[in-house]
């Protein structure tokens, strides 16, 4: 499982690590702060769009910048292990930037995927992937699941 978590320090090192990958690469990214059935469903559907699913995972500092001081709930290593344990996920690559654009350029995916709370115009990396002949897809969320709603339910216990 740990061999599914790659280090991302530079575009070149990621390219070197991914050279052995054969097939159509699907890329998605996120914080995955509290893994739930909605995430599992989303990642399963994303994986079916290609041969390899790579998940860009926001590191702890970027989650804090994006979600607030009380996040992440789980540290990067724990979130990476949980994602890597999923059958649908082939590789997890942590990144520290607020957007995954540099990682997308390093991975060079054939398909870029985001969840249903995004529009095509909001997708970071859309122009890059399409300029290389790739596809951009939005996958609807499984109804009733979101990290925010789960946190609200926990706070009301």
Alpha carbons 141 and 115: distance in angstroms, whole number: 6
Half-sphere exposure of 20 (CA within 13 A, CB side): 4
User: Could you tell me the two tokens for 152?
Assistant: 């609200």
Q: What average pLDDT score do residues 13-30 get? A: 79
Render pLDDT for 56-80 as a digit per residue (tens, 0 to 9): 999 999 999 999 998 999 999 999 9
Render pLDDT for 97-151 as a digit per residue (tens, 0 to 9): 999 999 999 999 999 999 988 899 999 999 999 999 999 999 998 777 676 676 6
Separation in Å, CA 23 to CA 44, 81, 97, 130: 17, 24, 27, 18
The total of structural domains in the chain comes to 1
Give the pTM.
0.88
pLDDT of residue 138: 96
Q: Are 85 and 107 in contact (CB under 8 A)?
A: no
CA-closest candidate to residue 100, choices 118, 73, 116: 118
Distance in Å from the first CA to the final CA of the chain = 34
Q: Are 59 and 19 in contact (CB under 8 A)?
A: no
Name which of 3-7, 9-13, 88-92 the model is least confident about.
9-13
pLDDT of residue 10: 45
**Which CATH number characterizes residue 49's domain?**
3.40.50.620
pLDDT of residue 118: 84
Structural domain including 13 reads 2-155
């Amino acid at each position: 499982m740990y061999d599914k978590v790659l280090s991302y320090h530079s575009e070149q090192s990621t390219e070197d690590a991914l050279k052995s990958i054969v097939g159509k690469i699907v890329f998605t990214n996120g914080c995955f702060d509290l893994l739930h059935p909605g995430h599992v469903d989303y990642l399963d559907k994303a994986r079916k769009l290609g041969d390899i699913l790579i998940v860009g995972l926001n590191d702890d500092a970027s989650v804090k910048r994006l979600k607030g001081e009380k996040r992440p709930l789980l540290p990067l290593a724990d979130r990476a292990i949980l994602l890597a344990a999923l059958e649908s996920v082939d590789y997890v690559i942590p990144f520290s930037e607020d957007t995954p654009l540099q990682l997308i350029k390093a991975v060079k995916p054939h398909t870029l995927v985001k969840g249903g709370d995004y529009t095509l115009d909001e997708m970071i990396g859309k122009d890059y992937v399409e300029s290389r002949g790739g596809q951009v897809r939005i996958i609807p969320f499984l109804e009733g699941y979101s990290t925010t709603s789960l946190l609200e339910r926990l706070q009301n216990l």
